[in-house]
Amino acid sequence: HVQLVESGGGSVQAGGSLRLSCEASGLTMKTYCMGWFRQAPGKERERVATIAKEIIRWGGTWYADSVKGRFTISRDNDKNALYLQMNTLNSEDTSMYYCAAAPALYCPNIPNEYVYWGQGTQVTVS
């Protein structure tokens, strides 16, 4: 049984930082592309950042333009954990953040190609 469990969300003032974590069980994270997505009420789920299962070979990291330079995605395959360091947060970052896994060499662009999802962690920036 695969589980992805996010943590680290919360309320923060604009300009502040948060670090999201995603712990995986039931899968070997190093064999998956991992990603962070977010979805605000009334909006479509959007890809925030992804990290290939083998950074050097399969393309490394990707970031949405809206978060480039502010967010950093990383993974610890030994701990089966994924992280998202979020700095200089603004109100537009307010959303539910989801961790997701895709069994792909190149990280997919669309959410439907990610097969495992966490329950999400809420980030609110005021």
Per-residue model confidence as pLDDT tens digits over 13-54 = 999 999 999 999 999 888 999 999 999 999 999 999 999 887
* CA distance linking residue 53 with residue 103, whole number of Å: 9
pLDDT at 11: 97
pLDDT at 69: 97
Transcribe 35-79 into DSSP letters. Answer: EEEEE-TTS--EEEEEE-SSHHHHT-EEE-TTTTTTEEEEEETTT
Average pLDDT over residues 60-68: 95
CA distances from 76 to 43, 79, 81, 88 (A): 31, 5, 5, 24
pLDDT at 77: 86
Average pLDDT over residues 59-69: 92
What percentage of residues in the chain have a pLDDT greater than 90?
Answer: 84
Could you identify the residue written with the tokens 């974590």? Answer: 21
